[in-house]
Amino acid sequence: MGTHRRKSIWHRTQTRFGAMFVLSLSLAVVTVFMSPPSYAAGPTVQPLPYDVYAPHPDAQQPKRGEQKKPLNLLTQDETSLLEERTLTQGNFVRSFWVKTPKNHDGRALEPLLLLLHDSDGDGAQILRRHGWRGQSDSGGFFIVAPDALPRDPSQRAGLQNPRLWNAGSRETTASQAILPEDVAYLKAVLDDVRSAFPIDPRRVYVAGLGEGGSMALRMAAEAPRAFAASATIAGALQVPVRKMPYPIAIMMITGGKDPFLPMAGGPVALPWGENIQRAAPALTFEIWGQALGCRSNPKKVRTHWRDIWLTQMRRCTKRAVVRWFQIDLMGHHWPGGDQSRWGEAVVGPYAVDPNATSLVWNFFTRHVKSWK
């Protein structure tokens, strides 16, 4: 009887271990077949050459059941950090907003960002969008956000009469026989801010979205001495670029489904009824590489974000850099920020990643002017 009992215990033990082995093997098979696909067939995933900050809360989407705080509702504390200033240019009194970083002591020299709005807004609006107020406070830098003139300056600005920058390829109209001298205007804005606020002249940057991004590229091309770096989101190069006398750093962010900046370039019909020619982003990237004397063959790599690619030119004059992020599934938006007022039906799909506000500012902090 003792022998029979020992055999029964041994039999039950074998049965339990066998069942556990079969269960473990089944889970392993399910895990393999249900895991998300990898990118083994494409380029290797490479980390970015720098850290990316977590998205600022202003740019995050609300959790289920929560109401997102409207970005146009400024607290009294936030309003106290904003100042509206004006300059007269010809027959126009033009406004621009200056954002002071929170807790600034009024004496320390801090960086300055020239931030240029798209056709769906103005200077005050872009300051309220995309998390820039929070980034200014955490990064300790000033922002100046000017207004472009409306397409028809005699009428009130709106989506059908948008504020447009003269980025280089606009044509005169019956209501605007002379295009605004926006390069001269933005230089005057920078001079005014530098005279009124403690700005570090070595750390001045320019960035913009859409039409503002195109203007940021024009400022980099025609006033490179003023800036350490320039970033464009969904902006098109619209002016010639000569060989750069200063090693300004360039960042581009484009969407593969942007109807206003097609990857192949060509004619584009804008929502307010204007037709325009766009240069392909790849051509813009190549032109800047040549202007900055870059000698390396750029390599396109997939980033740790799905469907987002990074192409970078190195070995440029005096350590300049040209960096291009391509977001395959994005339309005409500021990624990670607020969606365009035009709506996805007009401008294409929105992208949550990457957070362009953090990405752009992180890029800027790595570039300081070595020239006066």
This prediction has a pTM of 0.79
Residue 39 banded pLDDT, cuts 50, 70, 90 = very low
Sequence-ordered strand ranges (E) for 54-109: 82-89, 92-99
Higher pLDDT, 297 or 174: 297
Could you give the domains of the chain?
57-364 (3.40.50.1820)
Q: Residue 43 pLDDT > 80, yes or no?
A: no
CA 234, chain centre distance (Å): 8
Q: Which residues of 54-63 are buried (b: 16+ CB within 10 A; e: fewer)?
A: ebbebbeeee
pLDDT recorded at residue 120: 84
pLDDT of residue 159: 84
Residue-wise pLDDT tens digits, 128-167: 889 999 999 999 999 999 999 998 888 898 888 899 999 9
pLDDT at 297 over 70: yes
pLDDT in tens, 87-137: 998 888 999 999 999 988 888 999 999 999 998 889 999 988 899 999 999
Gyration radius from the chain CA atoms: 26
Contacts of 256 (CB under 8 A, 6+ apart): 263, 326, 327, 328, 329, 330
Tell me which residue of 263, 305, 288 sits closest to 55, measured CA to CA.
305
Across all residues in the chain, what is the average pLDDT?
A: 80
Q: Which two tokens stand for residue 325?
A: 């992020």
pLDDT score, position 173? 52
Residues 357/362/363/368 CA torsion (nearest 10 deg): 120
